[in-house]
Structures are given as C-alpha cells and as structure tokens.
C-alpha cells in the first residue's frame, strides 16, 4: 500500500518519470517513422546522409554548449530548491543575451557566407542546424533544471521528429537526399521559437517573493563553472557518434544507413531509462546537496525497480525478432542483424547499471568521470580502427559495446566507493520497496 501511495503521488519519481517516458516513447516512434519514410523515399543511402548530418550537428553542438547544458540543470535545480528565483532569471538572461543571441546571429551570417562562397548546401545547412540545435537544447536544459521534465522530453526527444515527419509527408518534392535536411532545419526553426516562448513563460511566472540574493551572474563567471562539464559531455557524445565518422571514412553511406537504423532500434532498450533520467538529474543534485545519502539510494533503487521491465522486455524482443525488425525498413537492412545484437547488448549493460553519468556529474565528481570517459574513448578509437578492418560494420558495433560497457561498469564501481551508493539498487532498499519484511 505504501508503494502504491508513492506511485500515485504526482510529484514522485514514478509519476514524473512515466510522463517523460510516454513522451520519449512517442519520440522514439517518431524517430522510427522518420527513418522508415526516409528509407521508403531515399533507401539506405538517405538514412546514411541524414545520420552523418546528425553526427556532425550533435558533436559540434556539444562543443558549443561549453558544458552549459549540465550547468543549467544542476544550478537551476539547486536555486529553485533554495527559493532563489531571481538568480534563475539572472542566469537565463545572462546566457540568452550574451551567448545565445550573438551565437544565433553569427551562425546565420556564417551560413549565408558559406552558401555564397562555397556554393555547397551541406555546409550552410550544418551551420544553421548547429545554431538552432544549440538554442533548443539549452532552453530545454533550463526546463529540466526547473523540473519541467515533460517539456524537456518534448523538445529533446519528440518535437524535432514530429515536425520533420509532417514536412516530409507534405512537402517532399524531389528524390534528392538533401531534401530531408531542409525539412529538418525547418522543424528545428519552429521548435527553437516554441522553446523560447515556453521558457519565457515559466521564467516570468517564477515567484518574485523568493529568497533575495545579491549574487551577480556574468557570462564569464558562468563559463568558468560550466566548462568543468564540457569535457565529459563532449566525450559522451563523441563516444556515441564517432561510429559514424569511422563509417564515413572506411565504409559506405548505405552501411551508415543500416547502422543508423540498427542503433535506433537498439535504443528502445534504454529509452525508458533515459526518460527517467530527465527527472532524476535535478533530484540527484538537490538530494546530494542536502547530504541525504540514504534518500539518494532510495531514489536510485526506485528508478531501478520502475525501469527494469522496460529494459529487459525490449532487449529480449530485439534479440528474438531482430530480423523482422530490420526487414520492416527494407530487405537491404537485414544484413545488420549482428550489428543490432551487439548494439542492443551495449544499451542493456548501460541501462541496467543505472544513472552512472548523472550520479558522477551531479555529485561533483566530474573530474573522475572525465578520466573514465577518456580511457573509454581511447579504447573505442583503437578497437574501432582494428575491428572495422577485421569485421567491417559489425566491428564498429563491437567496439561501441566494449567502450560503453567499460565506462558504465567502472563508473558504477567508483560511485559505490566515492558516494557510498549503488548505481542500480541496494538490496535492503529494494526489499523495503517491494514490501518484503527484513529479518533482524
């Protein structure tokens, strides 16, 4: 009954996490629908072009975040807990006026110059896509820090695909694969505007009667703190997306398309896990700041209990029905079965061990996490180069799984040593949540 009452509480982990999960599920469906439409219209090559475009957008975006995404989540969640609402406004407007606005103007100007001087749409589209993506994701980070996780999930997991699907159905007018890039840019533009108005609404409605603070936030002081998150954030993204860079260099666009679809299917395993993480990030920061380690372990164990079925069931489904899942996108994708199995294994390991990256970064252990990721990155680079020569596309998937498993398991070990909690579950806490009476 106690567990049931906790689940019904609208502010608890399960309720908020499930709301985020539903939105992320819709986003996952949107991603698969988009991949299917691209495959239908342009084949594996079309998915390859889009995947490579997204690779450079995501990697470059992470560098231009300068760690602001994680900084905003951690800092804003702490300020709201302390009722320092004026400081939230100061941080947001400092970043908007002195970073996002100049960056947006500079990105648009640079894209125009690239188009006229290089006569190449790809460079211009990448620059515009990069600018819009940064704008959306930093506004999403503000929403996540304010614990508006439903909006955060909407902008980062769902909306970009939703509008692109709509546009590709209505406005597809040529068989040129670059057409999908124009439609995706249009989707980013609409979402950038919408995210701005949503954040402005919540910022304006913050309680002005909160705790007064004389703290002043300059963009320089913000960058000095946020840059501590930059290295680890960049490494995480590069660890995921460097696969496509290797494929771009050594293999073909068709194989990039096959790998992209296999990766999207594999992430079904982790989508509930990452959706719950959207709510967990500010909660971990808030609880750890209070020094309440037992409460932190309780939240982590709850997270494990809620997400376990949503991790295991998709993993088994993918292993059993791998051929059918790939055939849905076309016969040419069936060759990626072994790739899908390896990627699914990596996602399973990463998900089952819990929110390793969040626990290390939200508890002031960024440096340790950076070192773990750096070793993982070296492992992935070496193994990718060796295995792609030996096994082709499957070699990239093997290298990806090895690196992902390494930093997840090693990170989990150091969490238990440094923070004093288990990253997945603690057995006595799990028994308590399940209503099992402990023996004295």
What is the tens place of the pLDDT at every residue in 335-381?
Answer: 999 999 999 999 999 999 988 988 998 888 888 988 999 999 999 99
Tell me, yes or no, whether 439 lies in a domain: no
pLDDT at residue 139 in the model:
94
Tell me, yes or no, whether 158 lies in a domain: yes
Q: Are 247 and 396 in contact (CB under 8 A)?
A: yes
pLDDT at residue 19 in the model:
65
pLDDT at residue 172 in the model:
61
pLDDT confidence bin for 9, thresholds 50/70/90? very low
Q: How far is CA 325 from CA 24, 161, 262, in A?
A: 20, 20, 9
DSSP state of 330: -
Phi, psi dihedrals of residue 328, rounded to the nearest 5°: -55, -35
pLDDT confidence bin for 18, thresholds 50/70/90? low
pLDDT at residue 1 in the model:
42
Tell me, yes or no, whether 215 lies in a domain: yes
Phi, psi dihedrals of residue 326, rounded to the nearest 5°: -75, -35
pLDDT at residue 48 in the model:
82
With b for 16 or more beta-carbon neighbours within 10 A and e for fewer, the 240-273 pattern comes to bbbbbebbbebbebbbbbbbbbbbbbbbbbbbbb
DSSP state of 439: P
Tell me, yes or no, whether 403 lies in a domain: yes
Q: Domain range for residue 133?
A: 2-433
Average pLDDT over residues 174-191: 85
| Residue 76, pLDDT above cutoff 50 | yes
Of 315, 291, 287, whose CA–CA distance to 302 is shortest?
Answer: 287
Average pLDDT over residues 188-209: 89
Tell me, yes or no, whether 290 lies in a domain: yes
Mean pLDDT is lowest, of 16-20, 22-26, 351-355, 431-435, for 16-20
Name every residue whose Cβ is closer than 8 Å to that of residue 43 and which is 6 or more positions away in sequence: 254, 257, 330, 332
Distance CA 437, CA 316 (A): 31
pLDDT confidence bin for 4, thresholds 50/70/90? very low
Please tell me whether residue 190 adopts helix, strand or coil conformation.
helix
Name every residue whose Cβ is closer than 8 Å to that of residue 147 and which is 6 or more positions away in sequence: 16, 77, 80, 279, 282
Name every residue whose Cβ is closer than 8 Å to that of residue 59 and which is 6 or more positions away in sequence: 234, 237, 238, 241
Distance CA 318, CA 324 (A): 9
Distance CA 423, CA 421 (A): 6
Distance CA 324, CA 321 (A): 5
Q: What does the pLDDT look like over 24-48, one tens digit per residue? A: 778 778 888 888 888 888 777 788 8
Distance CA 404, CA 399 (A): 9
What domain count does the chain have?
1
Tell me, yes or no, whether 35 lies in a domain: yes
Q: 10 Å Cβ neighbour count for 60?
A: 18
Tell me, yes or no, whether 389 lies in a domain: yes
pLDDT at residue 12 in the model:
55
Average pLDDT over residues 232-236: 77
pLDDT confidence bin for 208, thresholds 50/70/90? low
Taken in order 250, 251, 252, 254, is the CA torsion positive or negative?
negative
Q: What does the pLDDT look like over 305-341, one tens digit per residue? A: 888 888 999 999 999 999 999 998 888 899 999 999 9
Q: What does the pLDDT look like over 109-126, one tens digit per residue? A: 888 888 777 766 778 888
Instruction: Kindly calculate the radius of gyration of the chain based on its CA atoms and give it in whole angstroms.
Output: 22
| Residue 210, pLDDT above cutoff 80 | no
pLDDT at residue 222 in the model:
85
How many CA atoms lie less than 13 Å away from 97 in the CB half-sphere? 10
Alpha carbon dihedral 358, 360, 363, 365, in 10-degree steps, equals -150
DSSP state of 336: G
Distance CA 271, CA 397 (A): 19
Distance CA 188, CA 197 (A): 14
Distance CA 28, CA 58 (A): 17
Please tell me whether residue 120 adopts helix, strand or coil conformation.
coil
Report angle CA 150, 152, 154 to the nearest 5 degrees. Answer: 70
pLDDT confidence bin for 216, thresholds 50/70/90? low
Proportion of the chain above pLDDT 70, given as a percent? 88
Distance CA 155, CA 151 (A): 6
Q: Per the structure block, which two tokens stand in for 60?
A: 């470059």
Tell me, yes or no, whether 195 lies in a domain: yes
Of 366, 355, 360, whose CA–CA distance to 417 is shortest?
Answer: 360
Helices (H) and strands (E) in the chain, counts: 18, 0
């Amino acid at each position: 009954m106690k567990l049931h009452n906790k689940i019904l509480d609208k502010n608890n982990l399960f309720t908020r996490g499930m709301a985020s999960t539903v939105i992320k599920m819709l986003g996952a469906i949107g991603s698969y629908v988009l991949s299917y439409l691209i495959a239908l219209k342009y084949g594996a090559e079309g998915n390859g072009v889009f995947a490579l475009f997204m690779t450079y957008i995501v990697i470059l975006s992470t560098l231009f975040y300068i760690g602001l995404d994680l900084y905003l989540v951690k800092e804003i969640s702490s300020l709201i807990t302390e009722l320092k609402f004026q400081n939230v406004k100061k941080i947001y407007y400092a970043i908007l006026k002195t970073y996002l606005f100049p960056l947006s103007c500079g990105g648009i100007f640079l894209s125009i110059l690239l188009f006229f001087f290089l006569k190449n749409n790809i460079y211009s589209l990448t620059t515009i896509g990069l600018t819009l993506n940064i704008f959306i994701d930093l506004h999403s980070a503000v929403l996540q820090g304010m614990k508006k996780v439903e909006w955060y999930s909407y902008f980062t997991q769902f909306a970009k695909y939703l509008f692109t699907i709509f546009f590709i159905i209505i406005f597809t007018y040529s068989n040129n694969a670059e057409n999908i890039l124009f439609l995706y840019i249009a989707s980013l533009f609409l979402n950038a505007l919408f995210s701005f108005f949503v954040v402005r609404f919540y910022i304006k409605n913050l309680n002005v009667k909160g705790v007064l603070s004389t703290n002043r936030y300059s963009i320089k002081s913000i960058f000095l703190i946020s840059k501590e998150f930059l290295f680890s954030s960049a490494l995480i993204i590069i660890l995921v997306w460097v696969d496509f860079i290797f494929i771009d260099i050594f293999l073909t666009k068709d194989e990039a398309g096959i790998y992209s679809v296999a990766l999207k299917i594999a992430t079904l395993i982790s989508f509930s896990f990452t959706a719950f993480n959207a709510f967990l990030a500010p909660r971990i920061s808030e609880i750890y700041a209070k020094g309440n380690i037992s409460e932190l372990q309780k939240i982590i164990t709850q997270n494990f209990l809620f997400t376990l079925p949503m991790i295991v069931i998709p993993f088994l489904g993918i292993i059993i029905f791998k051929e059918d899942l790939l055939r849905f996108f076309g016969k040419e994708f069936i060759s990626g079965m072994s790739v899908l199995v390896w990627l699914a294994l990596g996602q399973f390991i990463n998900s089952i061990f819990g929110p390793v990256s969040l626990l290390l970064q939200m508890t002031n252990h960024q440096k340790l996490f950076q070192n773990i990721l750096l070793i993982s990155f070296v492992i992935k680079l070496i193994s990718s180069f060796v295995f792609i020569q030996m096994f082709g596309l499957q070699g990239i998937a093997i290298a990806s799984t090895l690196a992902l498993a390494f930093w997840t398991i090693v990170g989990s070990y150091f969490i238990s040593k440094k923070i004093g909690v288990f990253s997945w579950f603690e057995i006595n806490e799990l028994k308590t949540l399940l209503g099992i009476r402990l023996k004295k």
